[in-house]
Amino acid sequence: MLIPLSLVLALLIGASFWWATKSGQFDDLEGPAHRILADDDDPC
């Protein structure tokens, strides 16, 4: 039923979080906030 499904989903979420942490996405919590303010306007 849905219960085992939710368990599987939780497992997937956990795994993807683990991968994200390992690849260093959580190391810098301030930089990305500044980054979005920069526009990359590349003239085509």
Contact 26, 20 (CB under 8 A): yes
Q: Which residues contact 20 (CB under 8 A, 6 or more apart)?
A: 26
* Cα 8 from Cα 31, distance rounded (Å): 33
Distance of closest approach, residue 10 Cβ to other proteins, in angstroms: 5
Please report, as residue ranges, which positions from 1 to 44 form the binding site for other proteins (by CB under 8 A).
3-4, 6-7, 10, 13-14, 17-18, 21-22, 26-31, 33-35, 37-41
Chain contacts with other proteins (rule: CB under 8 A): 3-4, 6-7, 10, 13-14, 17-18, 21-22, 26-31, 33-35, 37-41
